[in-house]
Amino acid sequence: MSIEQKAKITFGMCDSIRELSRAGIKDRHPEYSKEQIDLALIKLTVGQELFAKAYPNIEIEV
């Protein structure tokens, strides 16, 4: 398998995981808008501490 094929598979898996995470957030918080889902995904990805530094005025549950 070439490096290009491996990269394509890896990026595809990352996209799939991101979409599964979005679906999980939407399932737990059906009231969230697309923007809120995006913010919750960012918080899930970077962690509470970095999220609080980047978005100090935003409180969102994951």
pLDDT, one tens digit per residue, over 11-61 is 999 999 999 999 999 999 999 999 999 999 999 999 999 999 999 999 999
Q: Please give the pLDDT value at position 20.
A: 97
Range of the domain at 7: 3-54
Which among 14, 17, 53, 41 has a CA at the least distance from the CA of 33?
41
Number of domains within the chain: 1
Question: 15 in a domain, yes or no?
Answer: yes
Question: 61 in a domain, yes or no?
Answer: no
Q: What is the pTM of this model?
A: 0.84
Using CA atoms, how far apart are residues 62 and 26, in angstroms rounded to an integer? 10
Q: Please give the pLDDT value at position 59.
A: 94
Instruction: Please check whether residue 19 is in contact with residue 41, taking contact to mean a CB–CB distance below 8 angstroms.
Output: no
